[in-house]
Amino acid sequence: MKASRNLLAETSITEKYILMLLYAAGGKVRGKLWFEKEMFELSKAFSELADELEFNAYSYGPFSEALDEYVDMLENSGLITFENSKLKLTDRGFELAKIVWNSASERERSIVESTVKFLEELELDELLLYIYATHPEMAEKSDVKDKILRKREEIALRMLEKGKISLNLAAKLANMPETELIERAIKHGIKPFDVQGDIGE
């Protein structure tokens, strides 16, 4: 425990949020793409994190070389590992992540928790549509942007039906007025409703 607290003092801002993110996700994230997009969203919420990471448009949206370097450092330190292409905390990493989590502010924990909860539940096409629609500048070099945007209405209605997003966000993702989306939803047998908790609003 003492060793972990000493390590905490040496932890960078980016490493802190990586550990918090993995802790909030129960020790592992759904996949590397989810991890990248979750860290991208956190960089929009925390200026000190944005100062350490620079995200640029890439094949599947926002990508940061610096983030990969921090992940490598945490892996080399024995705090995280890759299991079936999924980023996961080791036992030692979980111990440190718990200390980091408990030492964070209520605001930090709330933002990290809501970001992870929202994005981890999205399927791949839902995740990419959300990122492309809310941050179009990050879709410029995407290999799958056109394919995703062609299906944006279908994907948005599916997310709405599953209660993953609010009506307001669904309209944004579908790129149409709420009134029109309501009509489309009713035609598909979906009862439009608002749900609380999506981070897009």
Q: Is the pLDDT of residue 79 over 80?
A: yes
Query: What pLDDT, on a 0 to 100 scale, did the predictor assign at position 127?
Result: 97
More confident residue, 8 or 138: 138
Q: 3-state DSSP call for residue 56?
A: strand
> What six digits make up the tokens of 100?
């980091």
Q: At the top level of CATH, which class does the domain 2-120 belong to?
A: mainly alpha
Sequence spans of domains, the chain: 2-120
If you compute the radius of gyration of the chain from its CA atoms, what whole number of angstroms results? 18
d(CA 14, CA 24): 15
Q: What is the chain's mean pLDDT, rounded?
A: 90
Average pLDDT of the residues in 25-48:
96
Judged by average pLDDT, the poorest of 53-62, 99-108, 113-122, 190-199 is 190-199
Span 92-112, mean pLDDT?
96
Q: What is residue 197's predicted lDDT score, i.e. its pLDDT?
A: 45
70: how many CB neighbours lie within 10 A of its CB? 19
Confidence bin at 37 (pLDDT 50/70/90): very high
Among residues 166, 171, 198, the alpha carbon closest in space to that of 183 is found at 171
